[in-house]
C-alpha cells in the first residue's frame, strides 16, 4: 500500500473522520452534534504536532507526508466543514439568506485555502533555515474556527433566530478576513494549550447539556 503508516498520523485521520461525520449530520439537522465533531477535530489538531515530533525515526518523506496530509485535513475540517455548517444552519432558520450564506461560505473557504497555502510555503522555507520551533503565526490559523465557532453557537438562543443568522454570517466573514490579514499571533504552548483544552471540554459539556434540554442559553 502507498502512504506512510505510523502513530504520528492517527490524530490527523481521526480529525478528518470526525469532520466527515459532522458533515453527514448536517443533512439530518443535527447541528449540536456537528459542532461537537468540530471541537473533536480541533482537539486532535491541537496535539497532532507534538505527537508527530515525538517520533524521532521518521524519514524526511514521512515528515513531508505528515505536513501534506495535515494541511489537506485542515482544509476539510476547518474550511469546508464550517462553511457547510454555516450554510446549513443559516437556511434552517432564515431561508432568505441562502444566497448570502453561499457567498460567505465561499469567501470563508477561499480565506482558509489561501491561509493554508501561504503557511505551507512559509513553513517549508522556515524549516530550511532553522530547526527552532515556530513561535508566531502569520494570520489567524484556520484551526481557530474550532474554538470560536462553537462559542458563537453556544449563545445562539439568547438572540432571535433571524438576528442570530446575521450574526453567524458576519462572524464567518470576519474569520475569513482574519485568515489572510498579515498579523502575528503567538502560537500556543504549555499552559496556554492546557487552557484551550479546558475550554474545549467545557464547550462539549455545555453543548451536551443544551442537547439534553438542561441549559437554554
Q: What is the pLDDT of residues 59-84, one digit of tens each?
A: 888 888 888 899 999 999 999 999 99
Bridge partners (DSSP) listed for residue 136: 186
Q: Of 16, 29, 69, 35, which Cα lies nearest the Cα of 147?
A: 35
H helical segments located in the chain: 10-26, 31-53, 60-75, 81-93, 98-129, 145-154, 161-180, 191-211
| Beta-strand relationship, 184-186 and 136-138 | antiparallel
Tens digits of residue pLDDT in 137-159: 888 999 999 999 999 999 999 99
**Predicted structure pTM score:** 0.93
Amino acid at each position: 500500500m502507498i502512504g506512510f503508516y505510523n502513530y504520528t498520523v492517527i490524530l490527523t485521520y481521526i480529525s478528518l473522520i470526525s469532520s466527515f461525520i459532522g458533515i453527514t449530520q448536517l443533512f439530518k439537522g443535527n447541528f449540536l452534534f456537528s459542532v461537537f465533531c468540530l471541537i473533536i477535530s480541533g482537539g486532535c489538531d491541537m496535539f497532532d504536532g507534538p505527537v508527530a515530533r515525538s517520533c524521532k525515526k521518521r524519514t524526511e518523506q514521512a515528515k513531508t507526508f505528515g505536513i501534506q496530509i495535515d494541511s489537506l485535513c485542515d482544509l476539510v475540517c476547518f474550511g469546508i466543514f464550517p462553511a457547510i455548517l454555516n450554510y446549513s444552519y443559516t437556511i434552517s432558520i432564515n431561508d432568505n439568506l441562502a444566497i448570502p450564506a453561499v457567498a460567505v461560505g465561499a469567501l470563508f473557504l477561499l480565506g482558509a485555502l489561501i491561509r493554508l497555502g501561504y503557511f505551507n510555503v512559509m513553513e517549508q522555507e522556515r524549516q530550511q533555515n532553522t530547526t527552532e520551533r515556530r513561535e508566531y503565526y502569520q494570520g489567524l490559523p484556520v484551526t481557530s474556527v474550532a474554538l470560536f465557532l462553537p462559542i458563537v453557537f453556544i449563545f445562539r438562543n439568547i438572540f432571535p433566530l433571524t438576528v442570530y443568522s446575521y450574526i453567524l454570517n458576519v462572524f464567518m466573514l470576519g474569520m475569513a478576513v482574519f485568515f489572510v490579514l498579515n498579523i502575528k499571533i503567538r502560537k500556543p504552548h504549555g499552559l496556554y494549550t492546557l487552557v484551550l483544552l479546558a475550554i474545549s471540554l467545557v464547550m462539549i459539556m455545555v453543548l451536551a447539556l443544551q442537547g439534553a434540554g438542561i441549559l437554554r442559553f
